[in-house]
Amino acid sequence: MSGPATGKIRIILPPHLRGLAHVKGELQLEVSGTPTVRSVLDALEANYPMLTGTIRDHVTQQRRPFLRFFACEEDLSHEPPDTPLPDAVVSGKEPLLILGAIAGG
């Protein structure tokens, strides 16, 4: 599961957050160290400060309840945030998906 800190991580945001961050399509971010959900979100917020607080709580750093993390057809939402991301995400073959719950709206 682990991989060296080399390539860029591909991230797909939900549409509302793409609008807020003024981006189209998927993002690619350099992540230092072993890529994990936490380190990817750290890099995401550093590059796009407007997203701070929209994916995880400002203070507790807990994932907002209506958001989920998926990669390689697996649900990573309930993994500890320092769990290394799958190799396919680290290599850039697969993206990390941040999805909003399909409810109401």
Partner 1 sequence: MSRVRVLVGTRKGAFILTADGKRDKWKVSGPHFAGWEIYHMKGSPANPNRIFASQTSGWFGQVIQRSDDGGKTWTQPGTPPGEPTTGPGGMPKGESNKFVYDTSAETGKPLTTHQFYDGSQHPWEFKRVWHLEPSLTEPDTVYAGVEDAAIFRSKDGGKSWQELSGLRGHGTGPKWQPGAGGMCLHSIILDHSNPNRIYIAISAAGAFRTDDGGKTWKPINKGLYSKYIPNPTAEVGHCVHHIAMNKKRPNVLFMQKHWDVMRSDDAGDNWKEVSGNLPTDFGFVIDVHANDPETIYVVPIKSDGEHYVHEGKLRVYRSKTGGNEWEALTKGLPQKDCYVNVLRDAMAVDSLDKCGIYFGTTGGQVYCSPNAGNSWKPIVRDLPAVLSVEVQTLR
Which residues would be at the binding site for partner 1 (CB under 8 A)? 14-17, 19-20, 42, 45-50, 52-55, 57-59, 64, 66-67, 100-101, 104
Closest of 9, 37, 13, 40 to residue 25, by C-alpha = 13
**Cβ proximity to partner 1, 31 vs 90, nearer residue:** 31
**Cβ proximity to partner 1, 15 vs 80, nearer residue:** 15
C-alpha to C-alpha distance for 45 and 43, rounded to whole angstroms: 6
The DSSP code for 7 is: S
Minimal distance in Å, beta carbon 93 to partner 1?
28
**Cβ proximity to partner 1, 5 vs 101, nearer residue:** 101
Q: How far is CA 83 from CA 56, 59, 73, in A?
A: 16, 21, 16
Minimal distance in Å, beta carbon 91 to partner 1?
27
Minimal distance in Å, beta carbon 22 to partner 1?
10
Torsion angles phi and psi, residue 25, rounded to 5: 70, -160
